[in-house]
Amino acid sequence: MPCFVYNGLALFFILEKYVSEIEIFYKILRYLYVKFIHINNKITAMKQKQKENSINRRKFLRMTAVAGAGAAFFPKDMNASAISLPTNPSSQEQNDEMPVRTLGHTGLQIPILSMGVMRADNPSVLRAAYNSGIKHFDTAHGYQNGKNEEMVGNFFEGKPRDSYIIGTKVKFDYPLKDNFETEFEEMVDTSLKRLKMDFVDIFYIHAVKDVETMSDERVVAAVKKIKESGKARFIGLSTHAHKPELLDTAVKLGIYDVVLLSYNFKLDNLDETNAAVKRAAEAGIGLVAMKTMAGGVEGADGKKKINAQACLKWVWKNEYITTIIPGFTNYDELDECLAAVKSPELNEEENKYLASLRNKEMLFCQQCGKCSEQCPEKLPIPDMMRAYMYTYGYKYAQLSKETLAELKLPENICSSCNNGCKVSCPSGFNVGEKIAAIKPVMDIPEVFLT
């Protein structure tokens, strides 16, 4: 029996205690549909990978195997820095060649390629990235319900502290709760415990949407305390909002050292964003880019992977962006990123390729918020579209469910729109269809998600 059918039957018995038989049957069908789409997408991606794969996995397997096997023969109390292990020649060469930029007034020297650990669950990929010369690793308190930070902590335990740069993030509700300060500090302490570190290099307030949040006196006081207490060397904010005014406010406030922003060739307000990026960089703020691959796929159907190298090179054109944190999860994707570093200049063919996608509907939401203004229920549609991208672009339904859970959506969303969705998206998204496609993820138990 196929595993997704088995999981569907398991879900049937779980739900039987709580809902009617009709509801059970309906939810099972929705669950099986999402699983079918997920498996079909994986098969499509595997077929494409077989056609296009020019990657030598063995070099990474040798690299990680040598390091792992070698460790077993050394006493636990031996200083790791005194051990000279064999290295993969191509890894050492990559380390020597990877360009480095300075992260604003922090003075941190960071290679232009870093790693977003968000979706990774295999420490061997983390090891391969580290051995390849990548130095900066980005995680967050909420990723994989804390398991992501734990994996990072376990991997870096015992390694020289100056050989890596860790960034993590904490998210909180706004308007602030009465006990915000206590909860905030507890989350920071929990993250440090998971990471097995006394401090992180960069601590971000996570997913800032507006100027009010980052400017709030209580928020400012809380992040200052984190830095002054030595729990973070530098503080910053992350944002998916594509709002240049957030960068300008960071300059005005003068307390945020780093901004992690969504930045790619699909941005509608690119000129305004580039101008704000320049102002922030000139003020000494370090800039890190995420969502650089605009959803990871070429079209709205999510079937064909985007040219990752072209996307990375496009971002590197901007000298004010210090580094990029692509979320690779396997050796193939890592190798593609490393190949881009070897030749970081966009060529004519890659320029034409990106130009052909510029006005094409993809899975990347502009986060403009015009949809929420039109919605009778005032749903947080931009965040829901981001969750849709995680499922059908990233092929990572677990992150989608985590994102949707954080939104605290009502149980019967869209119930007031009996005659169809009234939202008209400037980017051409069929919002009603996308919400209908993402809703089943909310009902699937986390144990069944991948």
| Displacement of CA 174 from its chain's centroid (Å) | 21
Other CB atoms within 10 A of residue 7 CB: 19
Whether the predicted pLDDT of 64 surpasses 50: no
pTM over 0.95: no
Give the pLDDT score at 36: 64
In angstroms, the CA 89 to CA 257 distance is 36
13 versus 122: the higher-pLDDT residue is: 122
Place of tokens 């692509």: 326
The candidate with the shortest Cα–Cα distance to 449, out of 384, 380, 403, 414, is 403
pLDDT digits (tens, 9 = 90+) for 320-368: 999 999 999 999 999 999 999 999 999 999 999 999 999 999 999 999 9
Give the pLDDT score at 356: 97
Phi, then psi, of 304 in degrees rounded to 5 = -105, 125
User: Confidence band (pLDDT; 50, 70, 90) for 180?
Assistant: very high
In angstroms, the CA 421 to CA 183 distance is 38
Going by C-beta distance under 8 Å and a sequence separation of 6 or more, which residues neighbour residue 273?
242, 244, 263, 267
In angstroms, the CA 139 to CA 121 distance is 12
Q: Under a CB-based contact definition with an 8 Å cutoff, are residues 361 and 300 in contact?
A: yes
Q: What is the DSSP letter of 176?
A: P
Going by C-beta distance under 8 Å and a sequence separation of 6 or more, which residues neighbour residue 309?
336, 337, 339, 340, 350
Q: Under a CB-based contact definition with an 8 Å cutoff, are residues 305 and 294 in contact?
A: no
pLDDT digits (tens, 9 = 90+) for 84-122: 333 333 333 444 579 999 999 999 999 999 999 999 999
Instruction: State the Cα torsion 138-355-338-164 to the nearest 10°.
Output: -20
CA angle 408, 409, 415 (to 5 degrees): 165
pLDDT digits (tens, 9 = 90+) for 288-333: 999 999 999 998 888 999 999 999 999 999 999 999 999 999 999 9
pLDDT digits (tens, 9 = 90+) for 189-222: 999 999 999 999 999 999 999 999 999 999 999 9
